[in-house]
């Protein structure tokens, strides 16, 4: 059976780290990006990136290849 570790890394560890671990770095006003202060830009960016991470995780996930229920 293939390992599920890459799935867990990209699907769980990356998004949680981006929000929680990096919090002290993104909790700031400058620079403004797309009209938002940096903290809100970062949060809204991860709305899309989390989806992307889960998409990659889904593609890598060995459970999806081997079960169909």
Q: What is the DSSP string of 45-66?
A: HHHHHHHHHHHHHHHH-HHHHH
If binding is defined by CB under 8 A, does position 60 make contact with another protein? no
Q: Which of residues 5-34 bind another protein (CB under 8 A)?
A: 8, 11-12, 15-16, 19-20, 23-24, 27-29, 32, 34
C-alpha torsion sign, points 48, 53, 54, 58 = positive
Q: Which of 3, 25, 31, 68 binds another protein (CB under 8 A)?
A: 68
Smallest separation, CB 53 to another protein (Å):
7
């Amino acid at each position: 059976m293939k390992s599920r570790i890459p799935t867990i890394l990209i699907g769980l560890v990356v998004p949680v780290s981006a929000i929680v671990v990096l919090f002290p770095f993104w909790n700031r006003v400058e620079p403004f990006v797309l009209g938002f202060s940096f903290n809100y830009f970062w949060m809204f960016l991860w709305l899309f990136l989390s989806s992307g991470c889960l998409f990659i995780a889904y593609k890598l996930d060995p459970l999806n290849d081997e079960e169909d229920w």
